[in-house]
């Protein structure tokens, strides 16, 4: 089920409608228990296959870059929600412009890799 009412374009560092900023202004929490938990629930094989890098733990989640296409920067934002599930967003970052490509809400931890694969597939071909 897509996350609704989220505009598709934001400037880098601009306040995101879900209450956080993307990249430059992200709240970095190295000791974020939620972020560490999400990171451990993503299989290492998935991280290696997609070239995960620049991971940042936030107050209620994690975000990281992936290599889907050459010369394009894509970023996943995974947030722990109030229903004890995860919301996932995929963003394309070009210069200082960010475009929300896809969003899925209420994901169980064991569905993370499969859902991220299905979200990334259209942008990696």
- Give the number of other CB atoms < 10 A from CB of residue 68: 19
- The domain ranges of the chain are 9-120
Average pLDDT over the chain reads 79
Of 11-20, 42-51, 103-112, least confident by mean pLDDT is 11-20
Q: How far apart are CA 110 and CA 58, in angstroms?
A: 21
Q: How far apart are CA 87 and CA 103, in angstroms?
A: 7
| Sign of the CA dihedral running 37, 93, 20, 25 | positive
Write down the pTM of the prediction: 0.75
Report the candidate in 70, 50, 57, 61 with the shortest Cα–Cα distance to residue 114.
Answer: 50
Kindly state the helix (H) or strand (E) to which residue 119 belongs, with its residue range: helix 112-120
- Convert the pLDDT of each residue in 26-85 to its tens digit: 445 556 788 889 999 999 999 999 889 999 988 899 999 998 877 778 999 999 999 999
Does residue 30 or residue 16 have the better pLDDT?
30
| Residue range 79-103: mean pLDDT, rounded | 91
* Rg over CA atoms, the chain: 13
Q: How far apart are CA 94 and CA 111, in angstroms?
A: 28
Vertex 110 angle, CA 8 and 66, to 5°: 45
């Amino acid at each position: 089920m897509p996350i609704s009412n989220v505009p598709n374009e934001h400037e880098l560092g601009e306040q995101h409608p879900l209450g956080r900023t993307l990249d430059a202004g992200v709240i970095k929490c190295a000791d974020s228990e939620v972020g560490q938990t999400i990171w451990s629930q993503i299989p290492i094989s998935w991280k290696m296959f997609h070239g995960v890098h620049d991971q940042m733990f936030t107050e209620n989640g994690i975000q990281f870059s992936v290599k889907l296409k050459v010369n394009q920067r894509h970023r996943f934002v995974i947030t722990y929600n109030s229903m004890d599930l995860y919301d996932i967003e995929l963003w394309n970052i070009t210069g200082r412009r960010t475009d929300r490509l896809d969003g899925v809400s209420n994901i169980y931890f064991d569905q993370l890799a499969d859902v991220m694969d299905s979200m990334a597939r259209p942008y990696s071909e």
